[in-house]
Structure 1
Amino acid sequence: MRASVVGTTVTLAAGALLTAAMTTASASPPDTATPPRHTRAAQPVLVDCLWQRTVRPIDFILACGDGNSRLTGLRWSEWGPGEATAVGVNVVNDCEPYCAAGTFHSYPVTVRLDGAKPWKDRPGVDHYTRISLTYPGDRPEGYQQVMSYPLWD
């Protein structure tokens, strides 16, 4: 019976010491010697339809709702704080007689991103706010030679 009391006492004492040690550690003030820093990203990002940031994507969907316009085969020659430039193909659905029955056509295009500014959802990250497409030859019906669109924030 005495051995049982001693064993219980030792177990309770060990538990109390462990609890005290854990409480002291968790109650310690946070280390403030190195405050967190919010620095700007080295280069802006392109925000896609799923709100993911990307740099130098190979493909990019322009018409997020239905996918009827997208950029493919992008080859970036520049990606910096002022602008980004690529060549690729704009694949566009003619929606004739309606979009579900339409045909996709490919048009060579030069892509320019600019207007970098801080991204509201990600402090410290700049993102491009405008995309311009330049068609050197054929282009979709109703399109100008240069088309510019705002990008989502």
Structure 2
Amino acid sequence: MRRQKAKAAALIGAVVALAAAVGPAAGEERPGDPPTVAVDCSGNSQVRPGSYLIACGDGNNGLVSLRWTQWGPASAAAAGLDMVNDCRPYCAAGRFHSYPVTVRLDTVRPRPGHEGQSYYSVLHVHYTANTPPGTPRDTSYPIVVASRAPLA
């Protein structure tokens, strides 16, 4: 019995050593590499934000309570809520409703004006239960990032 335990311990040790030698799993950031970022409406970079505004112009649609299960160089994934204003009778008097969602960020691009930094350029939202009226279960939003002119 002792021999079997010793062999099992040696095998487990070899597997752990091999995993450490191979490095991070595919799709995970490597230590020292700058993380891929999500860029918000103000042009600020974020990593694993707890909230993310979708409707930059009026603030009537945004993601909250985001819990990130993955954040890697090619994509990121989270679950949370989409808070959407029903704008009835008009947006200032409307009520916000929450919809459970899963979120994926992908399509990585170099960030203009930020050498060496990459950002996710597409946000995918999947509604896991009800959807806002007129909204499909799966929706994608481009994230457009403008380069900043250097300050004089």
TM-score (norm 1): 0.72
Paired with 2:110 and 2:33, the residues of 1 have a C-alpha distance of 10
Whether the aligned pair in 2 keeps the contact of 1:41 and 1:125 (CA below 8 Å) is no
Structure 2 unmatched ranges of 5 or more:
1-31, 146-152
- What is the alpha-carbon distance in structure 2 between the residues aligned to residue 41 and residue 118 of structure 1? 14
The residue type paired with residue 141 of structure 1 is P
Give the residue type in structure 2 aligned to 1:48: D
SS in 1 for 2:103: strand
Q: Which residue of 1 aligns with 2:80?
A: 88
Deviation at 1:41, TM superposition (A): 4.8
CA shift, 1:121, in A, is: 2.3
Residues of 1 paired with 2:76 and 2:113: CA distance? 21
Report what 1:109 is aligned to. 101
How far apart are the structure 2 equivalents of 1:54 and 1:143? 27
2:51 maps to a residue whose letter is D
Please tell me whether residue 78 in structure 1 is matched to residue 53 in structure 2: no
1:100 to 92, 95, 99: 92
- Whole-Å Cα distance in 2 between the matches of residues 66 and 41 of structure 1? 35
Distance in 2, matches of 1:66 and 1:85, equals 25
| Separation in structure 2 between the aligned mates of residue 112 and residue 130 of structure 1, nearest angstrom | 8
Aligned residues: 114
Q: Given the two structures, how large is their TM-score scaled by the length of structure 2?
A: 0.72
From 116, 135, 138, the equivalent of 1:143 is 135
1:97 to 1:41, Cα distance in 2 relative to 1, 3 A: farther
Offset at 1:43?
2.2
Matched to 1:80, the amino acid is: G
Distance 1:121 1:115 in 2: 18
Give the root-mean-square deviation of aligned CA atoms.
1.2
Percent identity between the two aligned chains: 46
State how far apart, in whole Å, the 1-side matches of 2:141 and 2:33 are: 24
SS in 2 for 1:75: strand
Whole-angstrom CA distance in 1 between matches of 2:133 and 2:53: 19
Structure 2 residue 115 is matched with structure 1 residue 123: yes
Aligned to 1:55: 47
Residue 133 (1) aligns with residue 125 (2): yes
How far has the Cα of 1:126 moved from its partner?
A: 0.1
CA distance in 1, matches of 2:93, 2:132: 17
Q: Which amino acid aligns with 1:89?
A: L
4+ runs of 1 displaced by more than 2 Å? Answer: 40-43
